[in-house]
Structure 1
């Protein structure tokens, strides 16, 4: 297998403050590039915080110029970043929970959350998912939070040839034990490297757990944050083996 370096960005979002959150994402992207990261995944709705009551006013179309600094940085660094944002695919349509793939080659791809958490239907509509990222010998399937709580989601990804399952999430202290056990189990069950990027601070009234993590295809832990705060969980594959590193940001 080819060499690959991927990372989960455990970031702290400021509620509704898109300019400040963009600046913080740029800091993460630069820090990741210094570590040789090729693919960087941020938490669910990382650019706005998990704020359903604000989502309608903050939602953008995927190609909006507000993302220009992030897209230009991705190209400059040759780094692909997956960022969380409420989106509309056209004016007047419902708001989707989006994961926007800002390619290091200037490309833009979209993943939309398929499975809403109970209560989210007040502010959002279900999405259609998105294509796996083709990356050398790898296929990287994306997920946003509640998607992974449906066992069919990672199973279908694996059946379609995914080798990596990358989820941007918001997981609270109360839900962490259950959700992390699920994700670790999927790694072992389906032979996937599983990445979980969680919020590093409070968002949407939730006390987020942090503790973002990456698990190898046997379920073994590759890298994990010890708690909350801003950090990068990095997984490097060389010679078919994964090695982990945690870097404060």
Structure 2
């Protein structure tokens, strides 16, 4: 299975422009026969909680049709971030797009304390069976700091744990240590997709990474450059230079 984690520099609150950037990364991943591509937390808007009321949408938003078309055509699963709305409630969500299937909305279950003033916690724990070998668990940022989240993934026999995050330069080292520990404790291959640049008032740290099942760092992007890191779980190789123009 080939997995890409994408490191982006978000444009504040501009879904259409961020979407165009996402398409470029997906097309590059398709050329490397990637099976799953994952973007950072709230990747299509940037991490902008104060804009969530204005920007929130649903998985049926027609602007996402281009991603579904790419998924169907190239048999690639695509995970992107959006604030979503259900009646009067707002959620930090991951839209999960799979080939020739209905979209799934996974909403952050464990909110960072300041987020609780704006967002509602999700209540839809899940893992994905990609084939006979790989069970993949999604995590959205602060969820990786909650033992209940990775314990659930382990109970479901997840072999891969993917964290879609906004991680700041002041917080990234702690989360890198946590993700390495998750990999080692549960014998999972663990990924982190993060931003570079600024978003939500944070200076984002980049350093998107992958760890093996012993918790050892396999590969990591830098702290300033947009790019994607592609990992082949069968060969355990990085397929190419992870940075794309």
TM-score (norm 1): 0.94
| Counterpart among 68, 78, 82 of residue 79 in structure 2 | 82
Report the count of equivalent residues: 242
Q: Quote how far apart the aligned CAs of 1:107 are.
A: 3.1
Aligned position for 1:115: 110
1:123-162 equivalent positions in 2, closer than 5 A: 123-136=118-131, 137-162=133-158
For the residue of structure 2 that corresponds to 1:248, the secondary structure is coil
- Give the distance between the partners of 2:124 and 2:223, measured in 1 at CA: 29
The answer on whether the counterparts of 2:221 and 2:242 sit within 8 Å (CA) in structure 1 is: no
Give the 4+ runs in structure 1 shifted more than 4 A.
Answer: none
1:167 aligns with 2:142: no
Aligned position for 1:183: 179
- Give the distance between the partners of 2:38 and 2:231, measured in 1 at CA: 12
1:52 aligns with 2:52: no
CA RMSD of aligned residues (A): 1.2
For the residue of structure 2 that corresponds to 1:111, the secondary structure is strand
Q: Quote how far apart the aligned CAs of 1:246 are.
A: 4.3
1:43 aligns with 2:47: no
Q: List gaps (5 residues or longer) in structure 2.
A: none
1:243 aligns with 2:243: no
TM-score (norm 2): 0.95
Q: Quote how far apart the aligned CAs of 1:179 are.
A: 0.6
